[in-house]
Amino acid sequence: MTGKIRLFESFQQATYPLGGHAKRNVQVLLDALEKIEGSVEGDTYGNGKLIEDFQSKIAEYLGKETAIFFPSGTMAQQIALRVWSDRKGIKRVAYHPLAHLEIHEEDGLKELHQIETVLLCAKNRIVRLEDVLNIQEEVACILLELPQREIGGQLPAYEELVAISAHCREKGIKLHLDGARLMEILPYYQKSAAEVCQLFDSVYMSFYKGVGGIAGAILAGDGDFTKEARVWKHRYGGELISLYPYIISADHYFEQRRSKMGQYYEQAQELAALYNRCHRVKTVPEVPVSNMFHVHVELPIEQVEAALLSVQQDTGIGLTPYVKQYDQTICYYEVGIGDRYAQVPKAEIEKAFQLLDQRLRENDLS
């Protein structure tokens, strides 16, 4: 068995995994359905009380006129960019080089819409106002992902967002929010979702990340925008006869966790501090600005895997199922806080981090 598989399995068997809410098993659906009567009517091709009520509720939460429930964020965001591209008559949009659309969607945006993309900055940092000011070609839309997931969930200062938004409005560039983890950033910004979203023309938010539902997304904007987006949803085959299993679970976990984002954020800071005390470990960002961060370790990946495996096996604390190479000298993994962290005895966590520090030092000497 390779080190990678042993690490993965030791995480699966850990008594106390530190990240996430719970196992993604059928119980997640059963819990969401517990108080739902069988007589509740399902949605039908995007219509019906169940879907319409949820869409209205989230539209209001986001401070937008209308919202549409989508089976996935991939579908929702490609469609948002297509609608804005059509509106402006320009098939070009700009985003971060590690945007979900650029690296996780098999080039759907380009293959399905022939939309060109401008990459706004270097991979290892967030988009700044000056990147937006420096765009050379005309673009229909700029997509900002908050937090920027692939670099540990970093965020610009709120004032910089305001400045980017003002610039886009002045230039007639549509601004779209990849808010896959929108709720998770509100405690840091100390803003409501609607306050953040009013800086953007359209917003996507996910219901299976911090919210912890089964799948599904909301795309919100003004009525003309969502009307057009719904036609594309139909074209994509996203206007399913019924989406209620996702909507019911999205609503259930949204209500259950909307008030917990501040807790996750504080716990992420606490956990990052524990990591930053370990030998050759640095979190990115150093102080988390949401419920997530990346753990960077400046040691050979095999040594890091061995150290993590040892800690997971000896303490039952689950730190990570995997480690990836970041560059030639650093390896990394992602941590995201959910409901589980609060259930783990603090003393056990402390013990695990003492052992991790020790194992990383040993490895370094060996």
And the tokens for 97?
A: 């080089």
Q: Supply φ then ψ for residue 304, to 5 degrees.
A: -65, -45
Helix 244-257 crosses helix 49-62 at what angle (to 10 degrees)? 40
Cα separation, 188 vs 339, in Å, equals 19
* Distance of closest approach, residue 230 Cβ to a copy of itself, in angstroms: 9
Pick from 181, 196, 229: which is nearest to 75 by CA?
229
- Supply the minimum distance, in Å, between the C-beta of residue 124 and a copy of itself: 26
Q: Which residue, 86 or 160, is less far from a copy of itself as judged by CB?
A: 86
Question: Which residue number, 24 or 277, has a Cβ lying nearer to a copy of itself?
Answer: 24
SS (H, E, C) 236-299: CCCCCCCCHHHHHHHHHHHHHHCCCHHHHHHHHHHHHHHHHCCCCEEEECCCCCCCEEEEEECC
Of 25 and 136, which has the nearer Cβ to a copy of itself?
25
CB of 11 to a copy of itself, least distance (A): 15
Decide whether 41 or 314 has the Cβ nearer to a copy of itself.
41
Report the residue number, 209 or 359, with the smaller CB distance to a copy of itself: 209
Residue closer to a copy of itself, measured from CB, 188 or 204: 204
How far apart, in whole angstroms, are the C-alpha atoms of residue 101 and residue 85?
15
| Cβ at position 243, least distance to a copy of itself in Å | 8
The answer to whether the beta carbons of residues 246 and 325 sit under 8 Å apart is: no
Contact indicator for 356, 319 with CB cutoff of 8 Å: yes
Residue 143: CB minimum distance to a copy of itself, A: 15
Least separation in angstroms between residue 219's CB and a copy of itself is 11
For binding to a copy of itself (CB under 8 A), which residues are involved?
23-30, 33, 36-42, 44, 70-76, 78, 105-108, 111-113, 208, 214-215, 231-232, 234-246, 248
CA–CA dist 1, 9 (Å, integer): 10
